[in-house]
Chains A and B, each alone.
Chain A
């Protein structure tokens, strides 16, 4: 299996504060990689670097080498909007736009120039089916998305991200604002999605990492402490700090 993202010696500063120190990681294609670690360890920050969402925050400085499909994501010839189309994102809190369900899903394709109604209908239906929410919403596509439950909203956001046909889906604690039933639905969905997509998921919940992920990266105080197959990380961690964290000694 090849690596879709490779990161070498990456550091990140918020102003004078160094938030990530010398991160090296290769993320394998069509698999689920989980980032775990205590709050403030830099896992979300690192995730948001991968599709350059950190560009939006003033005062962020990044050094090192981050490649997506062997191309430098900070290269001069990279169109950041295209990069974010290829590397989609689902956020911690469901954030559907205050529009209809249909318009939410169609937002991305329309952004990238698709106006044909028939084509849009197809994309919207496929995305909603992929996000396992089609049956629940097919009769009310014109209804405002803010009227849905939190779990539905999050699956809608996943559909919205899928509608632009990304290669990678970054998920920033996608279930932390949801109830257990919605959470398990999203987890099932994530495991189905890895057939077609590479998924990187940040989670606070170690059981979740064990349940869904193939690979796990453990972050602590801005450093990537350990990265490997999820089974290995949780059964025989190499680093003492990893062991302490997964056995609940801190965090």
Chain B
């Protein structure tokens, strides 16, 4: 009797928990889907070739986001060009050369903390550090993003370096290879996937960044060239989105940009997955 009662109770409990979990899955999936569909439906009809290929003009009262697209590309390029050598170099030093484990773990901890800081703080610092000396410009924005992404690149590279088996290093040292040769020929090829994954994640982060750029890169909408244009102010896609939605009430354009950014993000995540799968396959050979 007692047992039967217990099992009834348990059964009810099971059903209840399962229902709750289904509910949370449904809510999560529903929200994500709603957001995707809503943004795409609102945005895609507003994407026209004219919007993509022209610059805005106050005279004709037309809006084009070509400058914003170009600025985004420039900022991504410039930030990566600077952050990759810095971050990868720092990671190699910390993992392969540094002998003071305590200092290394302090730096690692600091980097981890740094990557969790709200981006607007980077914007504030970037404004004081870069924009005050070189003016509000794309370069100041890119440099701010460099600081912001340095910990990510460094940590992903470090983690990837740690996955290279110690036996490879021993083998190379045992043949009389010097430190740098071991790093260049045996260690680095084993961690390319980590570097590329880190870089792709950073591109995603740069694409989505607005707070740090509001302070540093400005709002201008002129077509610039690379790399000379880096000295001029310019808005990236996310900044332009903010600008058109908040300052001009152009929600159509804002949603068009949102849709573009969303598609780009999907593509980037896809690329990251592809890279990881490619290298996983190569490694298991």
Q: Do A164 and B176 contact each other (CB < 8 Å), given the known contacts A98-B190, A107-B185, A111-B181?
A: yes
Report the Cα distance A164→B176, complex, angstroms: 9
Contact A97 B168 (CB under 8 A): yes
Q: Is B283 an interface residue (CB 8 A)?
A: yes
Q: Nearest-CB distance from B230 to chain A (Å)?
A: 39
The contact string, 1 if C-beta is below 8 Å from chain A, for chain B 247-285, is: 000000000000000000000000000000000000101
Indicate if B116 sits at the interface (CB-CB under 8 A): no
**Pick from A58, A91, A108, A160: contact of B167, CB under 8 Å:** A91
A95-B171, A98-B190, A111-B181 as given contacts; A146 in contact with B176, CB under 8 Å: no
A81 within 8 A of B: yes
Mark each residue of chain B from 46 to 80: 1 if its CB lies under 8 Å from any CB of chain A, else 0.
Answer: 00000000000000000000000000000000000
If the complex has contacts A81-B178, A91-B167, A111-B177, are A97 and B172 also in contact, measured as CB distance less than 8 A? yes
- Residue A85 CB within 8 A of the other chain: yes
A11 to B90, CA, bound (A): 36
Any A CB within 8 A of the CB of B14: no
**A93 is an interface residue with CB less than 8 A from chain B:** yes
Size class of the B contact interface (CB-based, 8 Å) = 20 to 34
Give A75-111 as 1s and 0s: 1 = Cβ < 8 Å from B's Cβ atoms.
0000001111100110101011110000000011001
Give the docked Cα–Cα distance between A66 and B172 (Å). Answer: 23
- In the assembled complex, the CB of B96 is this many whole angstroms from the nearest CB of chain A, namely 11
Using a CB-CB cutoff of 8 Å, which residues 26-61 of chain A contact chain B? 51, 53, 56, 58
A108 to B172, CA, bound (A): 8
Closest chain-B Cβ to A95's Cβ sits at a distance in Å of 4
**Cβ contact within 8 Å between A107 and B174:** no
Contacts of A200 in B (CB 8 A): none
- Residue-by-residue, is A117-145 near B (CB-CB < 8 Å gives 1, otherwise 0)? 00000000000000000000000000010
B175 contact from A58, A84, A147, Cβ within 8 A? A84
Chain A residues within 8 Å of B185, by CB: 107
A-side interface size class: 20 to 34
Q: A5 at the A/B interface (Cβ < 8 Å)?
A: no
Q: Tell me whether chain B's interface is mostly helix, strand or loop, or mixed.
A: helix
Closest B-chain residue to A82, C-beta based? Answer: B176
Q: Is the CB of B99 within 8 A of A91?
A: no
CB-based nearest B residue for A108: B175
Residue interface bits B162-196, CB-to-A below 8 A is 1, else 0: 00010111111111111001000110011000000
Contact status A93-B167, CB under 8 Å: yes
Q: Which residue of A lies closest to B284 (CB)?
A: A146
A95 touches B175 (CB 8 A): no
- Please determine whether B178 and A161 come into contact, CB atoms closer than 8 angstroms: no
CA distance A96 to B175 in the complex (A): 12
Specify which of B168, B171, B285 lies most central, judged by the most chain A CB atoms within 10 Å of its CB.
B171
Instruction: Check B171–A91 contact: CB distance below 8 A.
Output: yes
CA distance A147 to B282 in the complex (A): 11
Q: Give 5 nearest A-B pairs by CB, closest first.
A: A85-B176, A95-B167, A89-B174, A108-B175, A84-B176
Extra contacts, 17 of them, besides A82-B176, A95-B170, A146-B285 (Cβ < 8 A), are A53-B174, A56-B173, A81-B177, A84-B176, A85-B175, A85-B176, A88-B174, A89-B174, A96-B171, A97-B168, A98-B168, A98-B189, A98-B283, A98-B285, A111-B178, A111-B181, A164-B176
- Partner-B contacts on A (CB < 8 A): 51, 53, 56, 58, 81-85, 88-89, 91, 93, 95-98, 107-108, 111-112, 144, 146-147, 157, 160-161, 164
